[in-house]
Amino acid sequence: MRERNKISEKQRNILRFMEGFIDQKGYPPTIRQIGEAVGIDSTSVVNYNLNKLVQAGYLERTGRTSRGIRLVKSSGSRRLSVNPAYNTPRVPLIGQIVASAPVSIPDDMGHHFDEESLIEVPASMLNGVDPSEVFALKVKGDSMIDAMISDGDIVLLRRQDAVKDGDMVAVWLDERGETTLKHFFAEGQRVRLQPAHPTMSPIYVDAAHCHVQGRVLSVLRPSV
């Protein structure tokens, strides 16, 4: 493999223009649009430089296809995408966990929720779970401190009532009248709820009086 990864200033301009164009319009530019943007008067010259960029590994092209150019590597200056179609998964932030109140999960979840309350999450935080099954709750107060979760954290949960032993779950406890996050272990008629903090003791509750609201997938702590 020869050393052909160096690209010219002009070619870098092409990349930058393409990133902005795609981000703004949602589709790639044509050869002529690229030429006009970076000051090349001939379509063949644009074509020539595009092929150079393909050789250098920055682009892929689809022959004889209008706008058939795809970015495969960034030019270095990465901006934030404003095009919602291409963003990370979003999940609805449907409320708060407050120790003294149950979590109410709307039944029609997954179909239409408030556009306002959708938050972005990185795909890696979902562990392969379909984003439409996931919701988020904001932790209010320090009641989850024994689960290593502090005030302001955002907890990502998968809506499910059947859970495996060891799963971290959000459970509503009838006896205490509160929701907590604990590791779940079924032990006969009873359920052992183990705090994440290793020095803290588990609590035991009757299986009939503990309602699993969802399994915790991950925790986000924004802007510490």
Partner DNA sequence: TTTGACATAGAACGAGCGTTCTTTTACAAT
Partner DNA sequence: ATTGTAAAAGAACGCTCGTTCTATGTCAAA
Q: Does 53 bind DNA (CB under 7 A)?
A: no
The verdict on whether 73 is a catalytic residue reads: no
Q: Does 64 bind DNA (CB under 7 A)?
A: yes
Q: Among the candidate windows 64-72, 134-142, 166-174, 181-189, which touches DNA by CB under 7 A?
A: 64-72
Burial class (CB within 10 angstroms; exposed 0-12, middle 13-18, buried 19+) of 216: buried
The residue with tokens 């924004």 is 222
Q: Among the candidate windows 18-26, 27-35, 86-94, 151-159, which touches DNA by CB under 7 A?
A: 27-35
Residue 22 and residue 81: Cα distance in Å, rounded?
Answer: 9
Residue 59 and residue 12: Cα distance in Å, rounded?
Answer: 12
Phi, psi of 125 (to 5 degrees): -80, -10
What residue 89 binds from DNA, a copy of itself, none (CB within 5 to 8 A, per partner kind)? a copy of itself
User: Is 32 or 177 the residue whose CB approaches a copy of itself more closely?
Assistant: 32
Q: Which residues pair with 187 in a beta bridge?
A: 190
The closest of 153, 190, 148 to 173, measured between CA atoms, is 190
40 and 1 Cβ atoms separated by less than 8 Å: no
User: Is 189 or 223 the residue whose CB approaches a copy of itself more closely?
Assistant: 223
Least distance in angstroms from the C-beta of 52 to DNA: 6
Residue 135 and residue 158: Cα distance in Å, rounded?
Answer: 6
Least distance in angstroms from the C-beta of 16 to DNA: 16
Q: Does 52 bind DNA (CB under 7 A)?
A: yes
Among positions 197-216, residues that touch DNA (CB under 7 A) are none
The verdict on whether 140 is a catalytic residue reads: no
Quick one: tokens of 170? 């959000």
Tell me which residues touch DNA (CB under 7 A): 8, 10, 30-33, 40-45, 47-49, 52, 61, 63-68
Known catalytic residues?
Answer: 143, 182
